[in-house]
A = this chain, B = another copy of it.
């Protein structure tokens, strides 16, 4: 059945034996490893949502593919309404939980591009993919999208790198399948999912056709190695000092494919370099609407934190404080508005899924992600220098020093010092910690960079039409 409990999820992980490097060691049991605590807790939370009757509307769907209920994380969205609903859930949910694991939209992208290839080439990728999706849905499997290649010298294409493995590539084909070599970067939480799913990270030319490869394999497939870093939060929860990062965060991986065999039934692209342009053009708006929505929702958190700490500090009526919070609101609405508008201007792909508008989604995200960085500073300004100079939690736990902290770190008289301190630690967690650094990175680098957004707007905007208009306005023939 298509919805697992968190217990079932953990049980399923225990059956897997991925090769994981963490804390200086090689391990195979992720479930009982301290470095995975935070990320597993977060993944279990997602499973719990799908089993929570109050959240069913948001996280459970009827899938025509399997004629059963499936979860938010395996459901294929086939209408603009479904895509908009996905965003509505993310908007609400990320403003409380930071993340909803939105890589599900990668399904849509591969759905469309495999259709294109089959149609042009008579291949069977789309049918295989459908079969695989049914397997995902039926078992409520999680998967990690491996998209970004290590890329080596960015001024050179894959085939001209000093080491040909710096982009994931096909090294051998046989009647049973293919052998691939290389690595994928930024494969968040991969060892605690069931499958790793790959596709090319950019548009390829003919010379790079061996790099045009997409497939899915179980995470404990021979030859796959996860070289990791733990989530940025503390090993043991610190509820006061690290209220968010104690519970939220990914184990990040460099995922190495050391001559990994993939059977044909799980290969979804194999050499069709001409279709990487489609792949990227479908990916772009899907990633941007998710990232735009997520950035908007996280900006909402900053706005809420700014409003609350200014209340605690007694500065909430200062006009510059209101103005700064208004800046946050504006940016949040722009990110959100452009994501919604991009969906509303979707075009339907022949395979039966909508492709949102590229230009609007990139424009909106571009604006909001840059503003998000500024707001991390703004939030510190509103909270005060105390964010990085206040005593450590250990001093609050020491009764002798606690008395002084209670006395001197008090804000408004009707707010307990402890509440103000909790909020200040929260703001530290967001803006002055390794987790805060991850929020910056997530805003700036995840889902393409601001520069990527610019390039895609330039490419997708209809400049020729405007040049024509201007010529007419000037009476230029």
Contacts and interface: CB of A to CB of B under 8 A. Distances in A.
Contacts of A153: 313-314, 411-413
A319 interface: yes
A457 B392 contact: no
Contacts of A457: 326, 329-330, 333
Contacts of A425: 474
Majority-rule SS of A interface residues: helix
Contacts of A32: none
Interface in A232-284: 232, 239-240, 243-244, 252-254, 256, 258
A466 B95 contact: yes
Interface string A305-322: 101100101110101101
A145 to B, nearest CB: 14
Interface string A148-191: 10101111100000110110000000000000001101101000
A475 B243 contact: yes
A103 interface: no
A367 interface: yes
A84 B390 CA distance: 33
A440 B377 contact: yes
The count of identical subunits is 4
Nearest to A404: B256
Contacts of A386: 185-186
Contacts of A432: 434, 436-438, 440-441
Interface string A419-447: 10011011010011110111011111110
Contacts of A305: 470
A235 to B, nearest CB: 13
B392 A422 contact: no
Contact of A440 (B95, B229, B232, B431): B431
Contacts of A336: 341, 360
B391 A472 contact: no
Contacts of A362: 330, 333
Contacts of A401: 21, 26, 225, 227
Contacts of A229: 389-392, 395
A441 B407 contact: no
B385 A162 contact: no
